[in-house]
Structure 1
Amino acid sequence: MSTFDDRENAFEAKFAHDAEMQFKADARCNKLLGIWAADLLGKTGADVDAYVQDVIKSDFEEAGHEDVYRKLFADIGDQVDEATIRAKMAECMAQAKAQLVQEL
């Protein structure tokens, strides 16, 4: 293999790794958001787990995080405002990424 091929393979591997890490961070962020929202909704036990799964699934509707925001706003928008939800989304993403880094 040439140096060019080695470099190309390294870039492809890094891209795949970065994409996998972003997917894991997104899923973990959505889990944290689901737990937070479930608490606001007064859910307990298995209802929390089911709600968390609903939040995670809502992220597959479209690219980006607006689908998760819409789900959360529809469910808890009467309790918190848009700025609070968006701030919590940013906080949970930072927390999710930090947790993933610690696991490495």
Structure 2
Amino acid sequence: MTVCPCCKAAVTVEALDNLITSHEIRGLDRAVLQAVWRGRGMPVTPNVLFDAMYADDPDGGPSPTRMYIALKKSLSRLEVWLEGSGVSIVEAGFRQGYRLAITTGE
């Protein structure tokens, strides 16, 4: 049980650290999940996600095209890993980014 990051309601999903540990989410995938979780249900722009993904890269990461490809691959992997967890990352709207979605199973 944890608290919904956007509305503060009690929901039955794993906490972020437990999700990361139980699914062994690492690297860029972990950075994306953490950045979206910190967004508390609000849209997180791709630029914010890129900053999180390449925070340790002294060059700021690869070209923008490669960043988008890496982001899309990461989102695909996270979709599989988070299936059934009650947590997902959804597109927030055209050019708005991605947001955390928590389902209650109802």
TM-score by length of 2: 0.36
Larger Rg: 1
TM-score by length of 1: 0.36
